[in-house]
Structure 1
Amino acid sequence: MWTLGRRSCRRALWGAFGGSGKCAAGPGPATCGTPATGFPAKTYLGPVRRLADWASFLRGDSNSSAFKTDSGRSGGKGAGLFGRPELQQPSDWQRVAAATEARCDELLADILKCTPSDGVRVVQLMDDMSDELCRAYDAAECCRNVHVDPEWRHAAERVCVKLGSYISRVNAHTGMYQRLSEALAAYEAGAKALSNHTAPELRPWQMGGWCRESVLVAQRLKQDMEQAGIHLPAAQRARVAELAAANGHFAAAFNAALTDTRKVGRASIGLGRWVPLDPSSVAGVMAGEPHESVRKTVYTAAGRSPACNRELLDRMVAVRAEMAQLQGYPSYAALRTRGNSLAGTPAAVVGFLTRLAADVRPLAEQELKVLAQLKAFDSRDVTFATSPASTSLAAWDVEYYAARARQALVTSAPGALLRYTALPSVLAGVRTLLRAVFRIELVLGPVAPGEGWAPGVLRAEARHPDLGPLGTVYLDLGDRPGKYPSAVTFPITCGRQLPGSDVEAALAANARRQHGGAGGGAGGPRQLPVMALLASATGRCPVTGVPALTYRELRVLLHELGHCVHNLLSRTKYQHLWGTRCAQDLVEVPSHLFEYWATDPLTMGLLARDRSNTQPDTGAAAGPGGGGEPLPPALLEELIAGRAATAALELQQQLALSLADQWLFGENPPKPTEAAGSPSSWTSSDVWRKAMEVASSVPYVPGTSPELRVGHLTIYGGSYYGYVYARCLAAQLWRASGLADAPLDPGAGELLRERLLGPGGAVEPLELLTGFAEAAAAGEGAGSPVGSAAARQARGRQLRLAMQRQRDQHHHQQSRGVQEAVPGGGLLQSLDGGYAPRSDYYLETLKTGIAA
């Protein structure tokens, strides 16, 4: 299937060639006239160097020709949208779609001609086909979400529908599934024969064509096609297709209702005043309304709307349960954790979540006591008998008093940070950070005419001294009306090793090096990835007027940057396993790891810096921090303390949502409300209440159904737990890599590149983490000559001591009759047929406010 690299995708198409995610796409069509490799064709305008230029460009109001960005029709033969010359105007999308389908028809015909002895060629052809479809579909998906021109958006939307229909037909092609199954079976039979010391039917060169990654891709493609029911009898296959089509519509309808004022309704708060119940308005009331009666009225009204989502949620749960059962799984959650996941089983997920909920409850209750004190102080004029001990907090109180608690800890003026987080300065710091840790050089500049989709879009080209060019990231960081509502990384082109003979690969690599094209490196020339990172800088630097980032926005930018770096450094052979197209419970680990750089004084001195009195190059600048004045440590301490004020309560929200997600799509799914009459049945609201009882210190409000407003349930479906897994794993990797002690250590960067980021999805999760832990414990910095040898040795000693303590605990448990493995090099725990991260170090970071 078109793997869901980032799990908060907006659309999911079942099968080997379906499913577009925020950070999982694929490249492709040579028939469209664009180079298949290298940086996009462009007229390079040079890097932006002076802060004055940055300020003008990022506002999108520069009159300089160097900063002209035609986000509509190029009017001539320009670079083309996303650097693709074939995309000069909206109508070109139809030609791209037609060319993509024609090329895929050719590849399909080649696949059907294959015999079992052709073996790995079937895998390559299928990856090529997926690559073609991903490149066209994902570019259109990005365009329809980000372009400021409605005509471009509507044209891209039509192409998404057209290619989605084609993808559905391909996923149901039994001939292709049969060729793949035969090729994989022939290889597996040959491998078994060799293990038994007998001659396989396949010849040596046929067996030798398979590599470990080829086998893994073949297995994943086969599993993904089977999710579409292709291996089932005709009647069941048709039913799965019908259910999959229905499932594809739930998320859009559910989330559209949340922003439809007619469906969410409004609440009367007295004196003829009304509050609309859309998520933004409700959030504003919860965080900023001082009158409890108003907060309560709005909360309880919002907790029952939109009523139409109850039927949608009930239908979605039933459809997904039937889909899973038809495919032989006990639940939809079991289907989602099968195969390529660290968790392995829903039982392991629920066991992990409930344990972590118990561990974090004391911390959350301490935070609630502080909030209760604030509420008691507010109530002092109402009754002198009020005290913190007798003051109870309701669900509608938490956000308001959490905001008050943060305000009490962050005493600096609201705009104090914005002086240091002007967007040009932050980007200069990002360049320095990536160069220091990962040896990645970023060249930043404006897009060429016709290449961008909105004013102010930047292009960042990445290069590595050993790997060569890495790819391109478009940066859309300004704030504008109608912009995509959340931070996101859209894939436009996937990375992969280009197919072809060694001689052809060498010739092509030489040609591309001469013209600054695709990267080479081990395995021959590569198709370079292209992504679009969207985030928003909503503040303004008080000195220069340049867009500036709040602390939360800075962390979000680093989070998305983690996804981009994961994709840039991924070196997989096939695009099917590229970068973020990895296990669903590992995909968020690098992005959470990157957030830790926003908590370290050294790295924040690079990222948050007042450079208003300097004229730095956006690359190398004077001084270790690039000139200017760094963020005062006291201000960073305030920001971290403010974030720590309710960190445990926020984790409880994530745990409750993850548990509700597991139980809604578990073996005992809830019944529709009107059918839930028997003692053994329960409703979606019962599920939510149970999740709150297990995971939250804030009591459930009877008569409300908060699940009707949680769009994540429609998108993730049994896999939302991945975010909590990622938090715990990122905390351990931050320490194990040595970054906690030396946040700019290039040896740690090499360790992360080789052992975590580079493999993408080509290494099974358990093996990936075990290899990382062993390499870190050896203190070798992944064998890299870069970095401090002393730092690597110290890191190794530290991790070996930690692992030894875990082994001692393990032996002590065994002596008491408790059987618990210490897998993953000590990073994991074994639970109910699967694995989960250890959470002890994450809880430590939670207390101090540095947890991602």
Structure 2
Amino acid sequence: LMQEFNTIKDFKRRVCNDKSADLEPWDEDYFIGMMKSSAHTVDPSVVASYFPLSQCIKGLNVLVESLFGATFHQVPMGDGESWHPNVIKLSLHHPDEGDLGFMYLDLYSRKGKYPGCAHFAIRGGRRLSGTNYQLPIIALVCNFSSSRGLTARLNHCDVETLFHEFGHALHSLLSRTEYQHFSGTRVALDVAETPSNLFEFYAWDYRVLRTFALDETTGDPIPEKLVKALNASRNMFPATDLQRQVFYSIMDLTLFGEHTSKPVDTISAVADLKRKHTSWNYVEGTHWHTRFSHLINYGAGYYSYLYARCFATTIWQEVCQGDPLSRSTGSAIRDKFLRHGGAKDPSVLLKDFAGDSVIKNSGGGIIPDISSLCKEVGL
């Protein structure tokens, strides 16, 4: 951490021609961005030219067809079923099993719409009878520019977000639980973000990207050199990034933890945590945590992103990385993980899927093994 902090500080001093300049909290993103740009030539407009939204949607189809032998097909909606003209409905169809579930795509920004990207479970799957199963229905909601429709270009961050939410969608669509309360993402919070984090890896792997990331003019696939540059840029300052995520998690758990009857000053609490758990000062007079949306709809749950990042990295390395698009990889993902929803003990589920090394016992419970994550980011 101190090595990365000092590297950023030295860079600022060179840029500002001030040998005594210290780092301020607002310097973190600014100078890290500058250093990444200077170290790796990645032109955002060039990257975006390989990710028209229409091609990215095809990329989702590549995933389900390669991994699970299924395909998405647009299906008509009944009267009053759609909430906006831009919404489309897709059936996830398997040639032997029939329809597996339905997904609404609501991808474009508009006034008054939920501002982020998210997966929403509309109806969970459940067993109705011996041969009759209630199919899951979900919505995948994003906020991409609506001005150019399917020709809109996505930056790579948006592609990663799309794949993240698609991981949640697959969890819902491919689970086959007896009861809907265990369907799909209705799992223990410790593992809820694992499928989404796993499918983020697919957004960074050249073997996957070359199947759909095509230049909108020439049709040429994205160059491997460009994908390597994207990955190299992402992997800079891993300790600083991890420290930030740990701080967010500690802040979340502190604010939603046990308190005395005395009112808590959240600004002071966050400031103290910032000073204690990061390398950066707290800016007095600010209250940025009031805009940290996870505190509102994911209270005491932010830690699960760190857990999931560890679980997903081990799964990627042990199960998927060797051949990420093979049918055998897909069968393992579906049959050993997604199918079970929340109906199987998470510790048993993870060990059966990725091996005993995926978790450790601690304090009467389980925690992720961090070795795979450390290896992945070079720590």
Question: What TM-score results when the alignment is normalised by the length of structure 1?
Answer: 0.42
* Secondary structure in 2 matching 1:564: helix
2:63 aligned with 1:458, yes or no?
A: no
Q: 1 CA distance for matches of 2:58 and 2:287?
A: 46
Q: 2 CA distance for matches of 1:755 and 1:669?
A: 44
Match of 1:784 in 2: none
Q: 1 CA distance for matches of 2:293 and 2:79?
A: 37
Question: Cα–Cα, structure 1 residues 536 and 608, in superposed 2: closer, same or farther, change >3 Å?
Answer: farther
| Aligned residue type for 1:768 | L
Q: 1:373 aligns with which of 3, 7, 10?
A: 10
* Secondary structure in 2 matching 1:585: helix
2:235 aligned with 1:605, yes or no?
A: no
| Aligned residue type for 2:56 | V
Q: 1 CA distance for matches of 2:235 and 2:284?
A: 29
Deviation at 1:728, TM superposition (A): 0.6
* Secondary structure in 2 matching 1:698: coil
Match of 1:642 in 2: 233
* Secondary structure in 2 matching 1:672: coil
Deviation at 1:498, TM superposition (A): 0.8
Deviation at 1:539, TM superposition (A): 9.2
Deviation at 1:708, TM superposition (A): 3.7
Question: Cα–Cα, structure 1 residues 691 and 445, in superposed 2: closer, same or farther, change >3 Å?
Answer: same
Q: Check whether the contact 2:24–2:280 (CA below 8 A) recurs between aligned residues.
A: yes
2:375 aligned with 1:844, yes or no?
A: yes
Deviation at 1:702, TM superposition (A): 5.0
Q: Check whether the contact 1:421–1:548 (CA below 8 A) recurs between aligned residues.
A: yes
Q: Check whether the contact 1:447–1:457 (CA below 8 A) recurs between aligned residues.
A: no
Q: 1 CA distance for matches of 2:85 and 2:152?
A: 14
* Secondary structure in 2 matching 1:434: helix
Match of 2:255 in 1: 664
Taking only the aligned residue pairs, the percentage that are identical comes to 35
* Secondary structure in 1 matching 2:11: helix
2:356 aligned with 1:751, yes or no?
A: no
Deviation at 1:440, TM superposition (A): 2.1
Q: Check whether the contact 1:409–1:638 (CA below 8 A) recurs between aligned residues.
A: no
* Secondary structure in 1 matching 2:45: coil
Match of 2:142 in 1: 535
Q: Check whether the contact 1:693–1:700 (CA below 8 A) recurs between aligned residues.
A: yes
2:168 aligned with 1:577, yes or no?
A: no
Match of 1:698 in 2: 280
Q: 2 CA distance for matches of 1:472 and 1:393?
A: 50
Instruction: Name which one, 1 or 2, has greater alpha-carbon Rg.
Output: 1
Question: Cα–Cα, structure 1 residues 847 and 575, in superposed 2: closer, same or farther, change >3 Å?
Answer: same
Question: Cα–Cα, structure 1 residues 649 and 607, in superposed 2: closer, same or farther, change >3 Å?
Answer: farther
Question: Cα–Cα, structure 1 residues 493 and 402, in superposed 2: closer, same or farther, change >3 Å?
Answer: same
Q: Check whether the contact 1:773–1:826 (CA below 8 A) recurs between aligned residues.
A: yes
Q: Check whether the contact 1:492–1:530 (CA below 8 A) recurs between aligned residues.
A: yes
2:44 aligned with 1:414, yes or no?
A: yes
Judging by fraction of residues, say which structure has more helix.
1
Question: Cα–Cα, structure 1 residues 416 and 663, in superposed 2: closer, same or farther, change >3 Å?
Answer: same
Q: Check whether the contact 1:443–1:461 (CA below 8 A) recurs between aligned residues.
A: yes
Question: Cα–Cα, structure 1 residues 765 and 545, in superposed 2: closer, same or farther, change >3 Å?
Answer: closer
The CA deviation string for residues 13-60 of structure 1, in whole angstroms up to 9 with x for no partner, is: xxxxxxxxxxxxxxxxxxxxxxxxxxxxxxxxxxxxxxxxxxxxxxxx
| Aligned residue type for 1:603 | V
Question: Cα–Cα, structure 1 residues 481 and 378, in superposed 2: closer, same or farther, change >3 Å?
Answer: farther
* Secondary structure in 1 matching 2:72: strand
Q: 2 CA distance for matches of 1:770 and 1:559?
A: 23
Deviation at 1:741, TM superposition (A): 1.7
Match of 1:492 in 2: 122
| Aligned residue type for 1:368 | F
Q: Check whether the contact 2:351–2:359 (CA below 8 A) recurs between aligned residues.
A: no
Question: Cα–Cα, structure 1 residues 692 and 764, in superposed 2: closer, same or farther, change >3 Å?
Answer: same
Q: 2 CA distance for matches of 1:467 and 1:694?
A: 54
Question: Cα–Cα, structure 1 residues 427 and 702, in superposed 2: closer, same or farther, change >3 Å?
Answer: closer
* Secondary structure in 2 matching 1:416: helix
Match of 1:594 in 2: 199
Q: 2 CA distance for matches of 1:669 and 1:557?
A: 41
Q: Structure 1: 5+ residue runs without aligned partners?
A: 1-361, 500-522, 614-627, 674-682, 775-824
The CA deviation string for residues 610-667 of structure 1, in whole angstroms up to 9 with x for no partner, is: 3556xxxxxxxxxxxxxx3111112212222232234432322221121122223334
Match of 1:688 in 2: 270
Q: 1 CA distance for matches of 2:140 and 2:164?
A: 11
Q: Check whether the contact 2:115–2:143 (CA below 8 A) recurs between aligned residues.
A: no
The CA deviation string for residues 102-138 of structure 1, in whole angstroms up to 9 with x for no partner, is: xxxxxxxxxxxxxxxxxxxxxxxxxxxxxxxxxxxxx
* Secondary structure in 1 matching 2:38: helix
Q: 2 CA distance for matches of 1:669 and 1:549?
A: 47
Q: 1 CA distance for matches of 2:78 and 2:49?
A: 30
Question: Cα–Cα, structure 1 residues 773 and 644, in superposed 2: closer, same or farther, change >3 Å?
Answer: closer
Match of 1:524 in 2: 131
Q: Check whether the contact 2:59–2:211 (CA below 8 A) recurs between aligned residues.
A: yes
The CA deviation string for residues 372-409 of structure 1, in whole angstroms up to 9 with x for no partner, is: 233212321xx4xx1xxx44211121122122223324
Match of 1:726 in 2: 308
Q: Check whether the contact 2:177–2:340 (CA below 8 A) recurs between aligned residues.
A: yes
* Secondary structure in 1 matching 2:279: coil
Q: 1 CA distance for matches of 2:142 and 2:171?
A: 18
| Aligned residue type for 2:357 | G
Q: Check whether the contact 2:102–2:138 (CA below 8 A) recurs between aligned residues.
A: yes
The CA deviation string for residues 211-251 of structure 1, in whole angstroms up to 9 with x for no partner, is: xxxxxxxxxxxxxxxxxxxxxxxxxxxxxxxxxxxxxxxxx
Cα RMSD, aligned residues only: 2.6
Judging by fraction of residues, say which structure has more strand.
2
Q: 1 CA distance for matches of 2:325 and 2:284?
A: 50
Question: Cα–Cα, structure 1 residues 370 and 444, in superposed 2: closer, same or farther, change >3 Å?
Answer: farther
Question: What TM-score results when the alignment is normalised by the length of structure 2?
Answer: 0.91
Deviation at 1:686, TM superposition (A): 4.5
Match of 1:324 in 2: none
Q: 1 CA distance for matches of 2:244 and 2:57?
A: 32
Q: Check whether the contact 1:405–1:642 (CA below 8 A) recurs between aligned residues.
A: no
Deviation at 1:597, TM superposition (A): 0.5
2:152 aligned with 1:547, yes or no?
A: yes
